[in-house]
Amino acid sequence: MAARCQLYEACSEHVFRVAARIAGPQDAADVAQQVFLQAFRSLDKFDGRSRFETWLHRLAVNEALQHLRRNRRHKHSDLDWEPEATASGGEQSEQKEALERALAKIDPELKSIFLLRELEDFSYHDIAMALHIPEGTVGSRLNRARRELKRQLQDLGYSDK
């Protein structure tokens, strides 16, 4: 039991942040709880071929995507949402809001790849391991996510600068 508490303490903030970015801050606690329940039930399935954090991250991403599918909604999620985040002013805040709206309109799986790469700074290899897809697929889906984001931003009135 102490080991589980230690594992939770070490990883809960990261799992919560991933859940908030994909499923939205309003559902992040529920998603994170499901991730840890699943992790504790299946610790014996961790085979050590990847880092433990990568395995747990994969559980978090998958659970957040399943949550979105179960609820049949694509919630608005704050791109930079962190417990200690503060709002910035004017134009930057407007651009952030536009990016959040554009992200909310793209496929959740493309969104998760984009967020893992651009916000979490995961390598293509780590994203591939986390999502169980080939590295080449990561690259093609990331490009597709960027194209779709660009199109959504253009629809919102933003152009290349």
- The H or E element containing residue 151 is helix 135-155
**C-alpha 58, offset from chain centre:** 10
What pLDDT, on the 0 to 100 scale, is given for residue 72?
A: 54
pLDDT score recorded for residue 89: 60
Residue 161: band (very low, low, confident or very high) from pLDDT cuts 50, 70, 90: low
CATH 1.10.1740.10 boundaries in the chain:
1-78
pLDDT of residue 160: 61
CATH ID of 1-78, from 1.10.420.10, 1.10.3720.10, 1.10.1740.10, 3.30.70.20: 1.10.1740.10
* pLDDT tens figures, 10-60: 889 989 988 888 888 888 899 999 999 999 998 888 888 778 888 888 889
Every domain of the chain with CATH number 1.10.10.10 lies at: 89-161
Say if residues 119 and 112 touch (Cβ distance below 8 Å): no
pLDDT digits (tens, 9 = 90+) for 100-132: 888 888 888 898 889 888 877 888 988 887 778
What CATH number does the domain located at 89-161 have? Answer: 1.10.10.10
